[in-house]
Structure formats: structure tokens, C-alpha cells
Amino acid sequence: MTSSPRRVPIPKNGVDYRGKVVLAPMVRSGELPSRLLALKYGADLVWGPETIDKSMIGTTKRINPVTSTIDYSRVSSNGGRNPSVPLKESNIYRLHPAQEYGRLIFQIGTSSPTTAVEAASLVAPHVAGIDVNAGCPKPFSTSGGMGAALLQTPDHLASILSALVSEVGSVYDIGISVKIRLLETPEMTEALVRKLCGTGITGLTVHCRTTPMRPRERAIRDQLRMIADVCRHEGVACVMNGDVKNRDEAQQLMQEFRADGAMLATAAEANPSSFRTMEEGGLLPWREVVQDYMKIALDVDNKWGNTKFTLGQLIPGKLEVYRKVTRCKGYTEACEALDLNDLLDQARAVDERLSISRIPEVAAVSNAKSKNKTAQAAGGRTGVERSLTSETRPALSERGVGKSTATAALAV
């Protein structure tokens, strides 16, 4: 009689990562509208963007009556120089307690057990798990001893996880997990995974790249089966990440490499309907995705800057409408550019709440542009000017361009 595999118990308010295809944590592309859209299209769980522990500590938690979201905000540290100007509050983290209930994982950037526990405790009542980022290779993270820098200090990383398990996971009945990258050798990776699995975590995600590797480099899965087997032996769910294109491929790779779950990152960033199976129709046209995204972004009063960035990921870059949207300065202009006329009234209301207004061009500036060629170019008339002057300008050879080039060549 064979015994069933050991499993670390899933806390009452936590979630089991097994059998899940999830949205990866992504800066800018993991904000609330993107998460809600991923859930709409079939993501089982969503990771929020990495949030630094020290940025969360000291925030004020409010329930937003307009959006029904929970907002963590703080007064901007850049303000205060001019006492006559009111201090501006910055939103650090926003979640939707109803629509994300039981499906949101808060990823934390940290280098200290103490600050990790303090920050995680703030959001723990409203999420299904806390995930430690131990894989980000970018300098803003590693220079502070966070992200992939933690892979070089496994004992310290283990101490952070242990503190979160005992002081946050046990208190709020949620799971604690970690996201790592591959180390230089399989032996080093295996030793790290065994150590981390011994801290009481319920899940471990492995990004199948080493720290120096970048997204354009193909993911390497040579160590994945070994990692999955170690996690299974320790009773911890193993989630794979790296070059997973859609839900159907995720399911196939999970079976092939014995992983418990899979993360979609860049594929979901480009088109979150990648969570749909082919049986469900597969990828949706970009216009339908953009319309769904804009509706959600308006519903939650998303920062215009983040919405504009996300639209830049969703709209094919070669289209004229892409260029139109990149020039938009608010929701109303974007809805007009995208012909989303049914959203215009809501867009105007959101622009007003976010203090986004159309500023008419001052007459003096308009007059200057009409007389100044540099100003005209800045205003987008470069192509017109070139087309008008090119008809009257002599050929290059007539202007001595070829002659001067030949002379220069002889001089060398």
C-alpha cells in the first residue's frame, strides 16, 4: 500500500496553487484593472505587482465609496515645499475585496523579516496569500537586498519566509509562498528549494531563467522536473513561470514537467484573453479586449498613466489608433480615439474625479507655432513641411552632397 504524498495544509483563508493557471506579478501590468480583466477571461488566481514593504508601512487604508475598492495611500514624500499647495496623496495599492476575494496574492518586495511582517499584516485580511519576490533581477530591487539578491543569502530568505508563516500566515489563516529563479547549477537550486520548502510555505514559483537572463532569452526548463519533485516530496505546490503562452499550453507543460500550476506573464500582458482555452474561443480581437479593459479601468478610477501604458501593450503598435492613443491625455480623449462612444459619459466623470481636464491651447502659443518651424515640427507638422519643401529642393547630387562625400573619402 503506497502512502499519499505529503501536503502542507492550506490555511482556511488561503488557496491551493495546484491545478491553477495564474497571472504573474508584473509592475504596471499587474494593477487592479489588469487583474480583474484576467479574472474575467479565466485566470484562476492573480498576483499583484511587487510592492515594497517600506512603501506600505505608514499607509492609510480607506474604503473608496465610488469604486468599492480598498485603497492604501500615503502623502507623497515629494510635497511640502510650498505650504500654500496642499500635499498630494499617492495610492500605493488598490484591491477589490469583492471581485478579487479568495483569488488575489499580494507580492511583497523585502529584505527584512521585521518589515515584511509589518507590511504584510496590513493587507493580509484582504488577500488569499502573501508571496515574497526573490526573483526580480532589476537593480532597484537587488540594490536594496531584495528580489534576486535574496537568492545569494538563502538563510536570510528562509528567515523572512519563516517569520511570515508564523506571524502573518498563522494569524490570518492564509498561505505564504515565494517566487525564485534558477541558480547556476541544479545542485544549488535543489538545495535552495529544499531549504525554502522547510519554512512552512504552501507554494513555490520558479521562473525558469537565471538572474542574468532577460525576458527575450528563451526560458530553460532542464531543472523544472527536479524542482517539482522536490516540492512534491515536501508537500509544497510548484508553479512554473517563463514563456507560457496560453492556458492550453500551460496545462500541457504542467503535465510534461510535473508542475502543479503555471503563470502567464508577457502573453497575458499583450492579450489577457490568453487565459481562455481554444475550446472557449481562444484569443479575442484586440478591440474587444481594449473595450473590456477600458470599462474596468473606468469602473475603478484607475490612474490614467497606468491605463495609457496598458493600452500601449494591448493595441498593435503599427496601427494609427495606437499613435492616437499615445497622444491622449485622459480617458475622454482615449474613448474618442477608440470610438468607445458608449463610455464617454463615464470617461468625463472619471477625468473630473482624477482632475484630468482638456487644456485649450493658448492663443499666443498657437500663433507662435504658425510662425516658428520648430514649433510646427513639435506640433506634428514635420511631414507636411517635408512634403511641401521636397518638391522644390534640388537633388542631393545637385547640392554637392555626393561630391563632398567622395572628397572626404579621398582625404581619408
Which residues are designated catalytic?
136
Tell which residue, 264, 262, 263, 190, has the closest CA to residue 231.
190
Residue 272 C-alpha cell reads as: 489577457
Whole-angstrom CA distances from 24 to 77, 92, 272, 341, 387 are: 29, 19, 11, 32, 47
Q: Taking a C-beta distance cutoff of 8 angstroms, is the pair 210, 184 a contact?
A: yes
Residue 208 C-alpha cell reads as: 525558469
Q: Taking a C-beta distance cutoff of 8 angstroms, is the pair 334, 325 a contact?
A: yes
Q: Taking a C-beta distance cutoff of 8 angstroms, is the pair 147, 141 a contact?
A: yes
For the chain, the C-alpha Rg in angstroms (whole number) is 26
> Where does residue 339 rank: exposed (0-12), middle (13-18), buried (19+ CB within 10 A)?
exposed
Q: Which residues pair with 107 in a beta bridge?
A: 131
| Amino acid in position 105 | I
Helix (H, G, I), strand (E, B) or coil at 401: helix
Q: Taking a C-beta distance cutoff of 8 angstroms, is the pair 29, 271 a contact?
A: no
| Amino acid in position 128 | A
Q: Taking a C-beta distance cutoff of 8 angstroms, is the pair 203, 237 a contact?
A: yes
Alpha helices in 235-330 (DSSP H): 247-257, 266-270, 286-299, 304-314, 320-326
